[in-house]
Amino acid sequence: MLGSEPNAIKSNSLDCDTQKRNGTTVSNIDSFFSPGSVAVIGASATPGKPGRTVIENLKANGFKGKIHPVNPRGGKIIGLGVSKTIADLPYGIDMGIVMLPAAQTPQAIEDCAARGIQSVVLAAGGFAEVDQAGEGLQAELRSVINKTKVRVLGPNTAGHISTPSNFTSSFFPLGKIPKGGISYIAQTGNFTGAMMRSIMSGEYYGVARCIGLGNAVDIDEVDVLSYLADDPKTETIFIYLESLHRPHEFLKIARRVTRKKPVIMLKGGATEDGAKAAMSHTASLGSDDNILDGALKQAGVVRIDEFTHLFTAAKAAAMMPIPAGNRIGFVSPSGAFIVHISDICKQRTRLEFSQIKAKTQARLEEISPPFINITNPVDVFPSATVNGMEFAWRESMRALLQDPNVDAVVAILILADELGEMNLNFIVDQKKDYPDKPIYISFSGDECSNAAAKAFLEPKGVPTFPRIEDPFKVLDILVRCRESLK
């Protein structure tokens, strides 16, 4: 498959083996993730304006470097002295965050280079993703980048995040960003905006690095993946792309990364309509999807097909270990769930329900009424009617977790005030007792009780999923990651 790549996967740049970007094949972009000082060019004193929000985000995250606002009016913004022009800035600031209109960005790059600023984030849209005039402006921008050797993220991006350095260039109101081992590369400007806010407000995991490539006029997915490959703060990498700018180099780096870190990708533009939409989104050119799919598999990249998996699989990877294998123990309150999930696992995943040991079988039979035939998957409700809800789930899950033939356990809980309180501390205890085996929780019952259970379990490192299919879809993704790691 890989032997056919040069003809099958088209790139809109030179061949990756010979192309040079600012003098090297993949330039160093460390300064984007650990800047010591930053200029906000187009800063604003008006609350709600992007040029003010980016400063508020920097302060909220405890950025320890100096912040230099630039605005023609001068004065002060949030207590910071304002330079009227880029030329008024002190020499050698590490990064410029440019919040100016698109037409002003080529000159801003030249002015930054003159002050020794070698790393720039361009927020403005209005380039090749818009119209022919935008294409011309983007070509001018590329020419300036090549001349000045400034490294540029964007344009058409909400910025990036680097929590180990308490830094973000995002102009979307985020506040304090939680830290964790998940890193994102996204060919959309909005990932470090509204989508990051969604993670922060609805989930209980943090991020290490998050990069919105936007139009990727300079820095692209190859540069960032190369950085994340050796980043000690990044444990798992999630990618959303609409095209590969340098496919051969990307695959070469991916083959190296996926032996030590999971790499999970959603590729947009897989259909003709999707490719057309991608062109109007970030001016991307799609590749032959079938050829690309085979190449990604050979490189160890796990491909997903739902946008929500960028978050559900990230949550699971952040909170639990990658499963050692595909043998699943399932505790269900309904035979209908067992039938449905059995079909899904058989038809759509690599997962198998474990053949449990005789000792496990005996324990499950011991806690269940004698009139049912109990095995894995475990129909737990008959035991709950005899022994109580908490006992039935606790002992069934423990029996499966103890079994050497089980690599992970999924349990669907029934929660409602009328059924009595179920103390979920036993699940947290089991996480500690069996640290090598993932435990995923889903729900059936009262939605308020389910929300309370999520709020209790996830801060303690147990991922929950509102839809009963999701734990199994996520496990399948991570099982494929384990195959690559092996």
- pLDDT interval class at 4 (50, 70, 90): very low
Q: What phi and psi, each to the nearest 5 degrees, are found at residue 37?
A: -155, 155
Average pLDDT over residues 340-363: 96
pLDDT tens, residue by residue, 33-70? 999 999 999 999 999 999 999 999 999 999 999 999 99
Q: Which residues pair with 441 in a beta bridge?
A: 411, 464
pLDDT tens, residue by residue, 111-139? 999 999 999 999 998 887 877 788 899 99
Nearest residue to 29 (alpha-carbon basis) of 263, 246, 225, 181 = 225
- pLDDT interval class at 344 (50, 70, 90): very high
Q: Which residues pair with 409 in a beta bridge?
A: 329, 439
Average predicted confidence (pLDDT) for the chain:
90
Domains and CATH numbers, the chain: 2-316 (3.40.50.261), 322-485 (3.40.50.261)
Q: How far apart are CA 395 and CA 466, in angstroms?
A: 23
pTM, two decimals, is: 0.91
pLDDT tens, residue by residue, 272-318? 554 454 444 444 444 578 888 899 999 999 999 999 999 999 999 99
Nearest residue to 260 (alpha-carbon basis) of 232, 281, 288 = 232
- pLDDT interval class at 19 (50, 70, 90): very low
In three-state secondary structure terms, 354 is coil
What's the residue count for the chain? 486
Identify whether the C-beta of residue 469 lies closer than 8 Å to the C-beta of residue 337. no
Q: What phi and psi, each to the nearest 5 degrees, are found at residue 16?
A: -65, -25
Q: Rounded to the nearest 5 degrees, what angle is found at the Cα of 237, between the Cα atoms of 205 and 469?
A: 65
Is residue 13 predicted with pLDDT exceeding 60? Answer: no
pLDDT of res. 16: 34
Helices (H) and strands (E) in the chain, counts: 17, 20
Average pLDDT over residues 205-209: 98
Q: How far apart are CA 122 and CA 101, in angstroms?
A: 10
